[in-house]
Each structure stands twice: as structure tokens, then as C-alpha cells.
Structure 1
Amino acid sequence: MGLIKRWARMTRKNKTNQNPPREGGNQKQKEAGRANDVANGSILNNEGNTELNEYNEYREVLLRRISKFKDMLFVESPYNALIRDLENWVYSARVISDSNNEWEVKVREILYKIGDKMLQLCKQAREEWFKVHYGELNKLFEELLRSEVRVINDKRLVLRSENLTITINRIKTRKVTIRLVLKGLLGVNIRVPKLFNGYLRRATLSGWVLSDEGRDRGRPMMFTAYTWQALLWALVHGGRIHIRIYAIDINDDGITIIWQLRLGIRG
């Protein structure tokens, strides 16, 4: 399982910048603090409700984050960094040592197979980004600048085009999330041998159920921003696994690719 640990170390955990409400100070200090909070999407009153119009606040957050990562979104692609990491990881998984441990060799072979499929999905998504999603994101961005969109239900700002949906939402009172849900990206079905049996399998699967795993039509399913977690989930479950890229999250500290995995999908 050294490869999984190595990938986990390569993955940086998302962090969110949160500014606590300011107290005291003169009026100019308060106004300066409020302007800074608006830029960070964290204007709140004492009751925890937004002081300003949700649209203006979400608009500022989206504009700031798109401006911060404009090179990754409009010059390169959101997938480049992950493609580089996956290429390095897949190469290391392919280099199988002269170990006499047949189980370790088998695990490496399976992880290589899964990782290589995920790498191909990223490369296909990058092509689709430049063909379709890049142009639609730029169009929605221009509509936002012209104030041609509105907040839905006073909680979410949703921008839609034919193949792209941007959802800006507030969770846990203060944190603002931005997600790009992509249409037109195909997934792959992978047949993964079942390596775990008995108590070890039951204990591992129970861990997933109690954490990130959900259900889709009665079958196990998971969304994750961590590629190492997607690899481990597929390895532990075994059987027919469907993997696809679901969305892109634009966070304060970077851009994250969201994977979706489902068990038992026929193809």
C-alpha cells in the first residue's frame, strides 16, 4: 500500500480562508474590514445572515477566484497539474520490483490499471475543456460582469450554459463554494479483481460507509476530490467500477477535480 500513501502525501488538503467578524475600532477601520470581508465572501451580521445582497457577494467571490486562477482556467487547463501527478504516479506503479510477494505485485498491477484509466479520462477532459467548456465558461463570466444572472432561493447563484453549470453556494454559514459541473464527459468501466475477503473486507467497507460513501440506486457510490482515495475505493470494493470526472471546484487555495465512482454499473 506504499503507492497509496505516496499519492496521499502528494495531495494537499483544501484549506479555506475565513475572516472572523471585527469588533471595535473607528468607522474607517470598520469600513475597511467590511470591504475585506466582502472580498473574501464572509460578510455576516450577528444573527449569521448575510448583510449584503447574496448576488453581489457571490459575484465578488467568483470574480476574485477566477481572476486568481485565470491562467489555469483560460491559458492552460484545470487538469494539467493532475495529469502531471498521475503520469508520475502511474509510471512508479508500473515499475514492479523483483519482489517475491505475489500479493504486492498484484496490487501494483491493479493500481496501475486504475490509475492509467483515470489518466486517460483527465486527458480526454482537457481536450473537451478547450473544445467546449472553456468557451462556455468565458461566456458565463462575461454575463456575470454584465449582471445578467440572479440568485436562486437567496442561497445559490447558478449560471447555466449548454454543457456547463456553475453553482456558488454557502455552506456552514461562512464558507462559499464554487463548483463547475461538466456535461459531455464520458466515464469508463473497469473490472477490478476482488483482493480483500472476510473480516478485512467487511471492516474496510464499513469505514467507507461511515465516511464519504453514499448510495446510487442501492449501490455504493462516492464523490471525492482526492485521487488516492478514488484509487483505494476502487481497489477495496472490486468488481465492476464506473469512474468519471464529475466537476471542478474553484477554492481559495486552488482548483480541485472531483471524481465520481459507482459500483455495479454495466457497460
Structure 2
Amino acid sequence: MLSVRGVSKAYAGRRGETSALCPLDLDVGEGEFVSLVGPSGCGKSTLLHIVAGLEPATTGTVTLGGERVLGPGAELGVVFQQQTLFPWLSVRENVRFPLTLARHRGRARQAGSEREADRVERLLRLVDLWDFRDSAPAELSGGMQQRAALARALAARPEVLLMDEPFGALDAQTREEMQGLLLHVIQHHRIMTLFVTHDVEEALILSDRVVVFSERPGRVVATFDVPVPRADRSPDLKLDEALLRLKRDILSLLRGRARPEEQRRRLLLGLTHTPRGEDP
């Protein structure tokens, strides 16, 4: 289990300290896909970076399997909104890089260049990039670059996949294709995933749970279980009636239009309908 306990973040500036995250707790279980949604600047990406070991928390701890996360490691695969492929390496060499790094650090989970090459080939075929294995990143479209970044993140067999708005810069059609690919990948790998997005629809299509953040300083205001089995997920589910009701409830929380007592009543009772006369 990935466990976040009492994690907060504050930044010092010329005008004093700015609180980005209130102390919060969050758990992600083995094989679970959890999305974080909330207003811009509410600390979703900050929390992801803390979990990834890319920046320290002001208070609190992050543990994975009972061990504290103190910095980046092979057990944490990260995909950012803007692709971070090395432009001087081919697609195949980019995907191989985490395996090469682990081997040089003595942390490789498998030995031998042939087995390493087999894993790279399997991942490139999984994301449908084998035919572009010798291309430079600049020769790929945005969606193809993100597919390569996803394959690279999976190369070292991480225990957790952390994704920070990975499809935010893509056009609508490519974004839907990437959602379908990610659904296929997580079905294939059953990897624990923490996913940041501004798109509520995307969160509902991909996730087992959706965690809603407040405005800055971010705190968890609600958690929604998605009532669609993982095996039945597809981008076409955006028109599913149950997911549309959940989408209305989450947007109501994000926009602050529902009265606090009504929000609380609906969350406690598990109601997902919009009361008559209320703007969804």
C-alpha cells in the first residue's frame, strides 16, 4: 500500500509563507487506480511530486510497503504532462534507459542484455511503437511521445505509477486514444496508479476512486468510488448514466454551488442525483 500521512506543503516567499497543501491522509491499495481532481493551484501536482520523492513535504510522511519514500527510485514510475524523453536517444534507447541505470546501480531486477532487450520490445509493442523504435522523439507526434514516456515509466517494473496530467496537452481524439491505451496497460500490469487530472470525465473513466480537492490550500473534501468494474471500462463510458450522475456531483463540489449541508447529506447517504431545481 502507498500511504500518505499528515502530508502538508508550505512555500516561503517575499510576502511570507504560502500554504499549498493542508495536512492530509491518502491510501492507494495494490492494483488500485486513484485520481486526484480539483481547482487549478490546489496542490494536486505538489502532492504527486512529494509522493514521487521529487520534493520534500513540510510535514508528514509517505510510505510504500511500510518503507518511507525519501527520494526518487525505481519503485516509482513517473509520467509528466510534458514529455521528458531524452532528445538525443532513440525511442528504444529512451525506454531502455531505466533498465540501464538500474543495472549500473546494481539494482537490476533481471540480468543480461538479451532479456533487457526483450522487455523493451514487449513494452514498445504494448504501446504500439515497435515500428518507431529507432525514431528520435522529435519525429513523433505528441500522443506517440506520451506512449513512449509511459513505456519508459513501466520499464523498471515500478510498484507505483504516478501520472501528472499526462494527456492534458493532447487534442481530444488523441486524448481518448491514450485513455483507451492506459486502460489496456493497467489491465495488463495491474499496477498501483495515482493520477492527477483536471478532467472529471477522464478521472471517472480510468479510476477505481476519485479524490476531490478543495481550493488552495488543498485538502480532501470527498472521495467517490466508481461503480463500474475495471473490465468494463472504455472511453465510451462517458455517456454511462451512473457516471454522468457522479460527474454532476463532483462538478457541483468543485464549483461550490451545492449548499454545504446538502453536500454533506448527499455524501453521507451516498446519493448521486441532483435535487430538482438545482443547477448541476
* Higher normalized contact order (CA 8 Å, seq sep 6+, divided by chain length): 2
TM-score range, shorter chain: under 0.3
Larger Rg: 1
Q: TM-score, normalised by structure 2?
A: 0.23
Q: TM-score, normalised by structure 1?
A: 0.23
More helix per residue: 1 or 2?
1
